[in-house]
Each structure stands twice: as structure tokens, then as C-alpha cells.
Amino acid sequence: MKLRKKKQFEAEVATSSLNDIMFFLLLFFLIISTIANPNVIKVLLPKAEKGQTLAKKQFSLTVNEHKEYYFDRELVDYATLEQTLKAKTAGVDDPTIVLRMDATLTVQELVDILSIGTRLKIRIVMATQVGK
């Protein structure tokens, strides 16, 4: 009489819950990445070959495709833009404004903002999208 040996024990890993864990991790990182973005106003930036970073106190001026002006996330009318920039940058040594302008706007609109900065002696740096 021939006796059969018991089948050898095979180790198994239960992976049914890994899908849920991976989904929650993905969801967590997506939510955190949107919160961590300091510039909530979405603007299509022009592209540049190289970038430059600034270490000084800087303000943000965003102009979207509808010509709405946001100074540090606060909606500002173009008629009062110069007075707002003057008031907000008063008392700051060598104020710097990072200009985030939509790529579809004209050069004349860029020149108008730069001339305001020149009159107020404010350094304006244009933000671009690095890469091709």
C-alpha cells in the first residue's frame, strides 16, 4: 500500500487589502499636493529655458486670461492697481513682485504692468514655466 505524502505548505500573502491601502495613499498625496501649492489661481505660464529663484521677500501679482488682477490672491481692479502696489509694498526694502501672467495676453499688457513697477521703483520678475 502506497501512502501519499501531505502536500508541502506554501506561503501565501493576502493582497486583497493592499488595493484599498494604495487607493487611500494615492488620494492622500493628491489632496496634500493641491494644498501645498501656494498659487491657487491657475494660469498658463510662458516657457523659458532656464529658471531663476529669489530669496527676498516677494509678493505675487497674477493676471489671468480674463485680465483679472490678483495681488497675493486678492482681486484688484486695474484702475487701483498702482495705489494697491504702492500701499502693500510701502516700508519694504527693495520690494520684488513675481508677475504670473497668462501666456495668451499681449505684450502691451505686460509693458503696462512693468511701467507701473518702474514708476514705483519696484522690481518685477516674470514667472515662467521651465522646460520645453
Which value, in Å, is the radius of gyration of the alpha carbons in the chain? 27
C-alpha cell at 6: 501531505
Sign of CA dihedral 132, 40, 125, 55: negative
CATH architecture type of domain 47-130:
2-Layer Sandwich (3.30)
> Which residue's entry shows cell 502506497?
2
Confidence check: pLDDT of 65 > 60 = yes
Highest mean pLDDT among 34-38, 55-59, 65-69: 65-69
Residue 8 is predicted with a pLDDT of 75
Percent of the chain residues topping a pLDDT of 90: 16
Residue 70 is predicted with a pLDDT of 92
- Could you read off the pLDDT of 37-55 as tens digits, one per residue? 555 567 677 777 776 655 5
- pTM (2 d.p.): 0.57
CA dist 81 and 6 (Å) reads 84
Distance of CA 99 to the CA centre of its chain: 12
> Which residue's entry shows cell 498658463?
44
Average pLDDT, the chain: 82
